Amino acid sequence: ALHFVITCDRCQRTGNLSSRSQMLLTNILEVELFDVWGIYFMGPFPLSHGYLYIIVAVDYISKWVEALPTRTNDHKVVLNFLKEHIFTRFGTPRAIISDGGSHFINKPFDTLMRKYN
């Protein structure tokens, strides 16, 4: 690549690249299966057997899906779902990504994450 740039007329006319035009270096994160989960609520749907919502968690690496119908979409449902369906089966993830809804961003959720980390 160096030889090409040195001998390339167009590259030589362009001159030195400013730091503004250089590509930023980013770390490549090494993650394992079930390290990073995306979690969100779907619904409300028409009432079916008493359920209005579905809580869904997707592993970012394997695309494995865990889903559960729920009656409400509050933080208690989220905490219970994480403890019973994610943490006990797949271990504690390194990251949970959500849409930032109030059922995901709250004191009990923060407390749960600190407890399991």
What single-letter amino acid sits at 98? S
- Tell me the per-residue pLDDT of 3-36, one tens digit each, with 9 for 90 and over: 877 788 777 777 666 666 666 777 777 788 999 9
Judged by DSSP in three states, 101 sits in coil
Three-state secondary structure of 31-50: CCCCCEEEEEEECCCCCECC
pLDDT tens digits, residue range 57-73?
999 999 999 999 999 99
Looking at the domain that runs over 32-116, which CATH code has it been given? 3.30.420.10
Domain ranges of the chain: 32-116
Tell me the whole-structure pTM to 2 decimals: 0.71
Question: Which distant-in-sequence residues (6+ apart) come within 8 Å of 62 by Cβ?
Answer: 33, 34
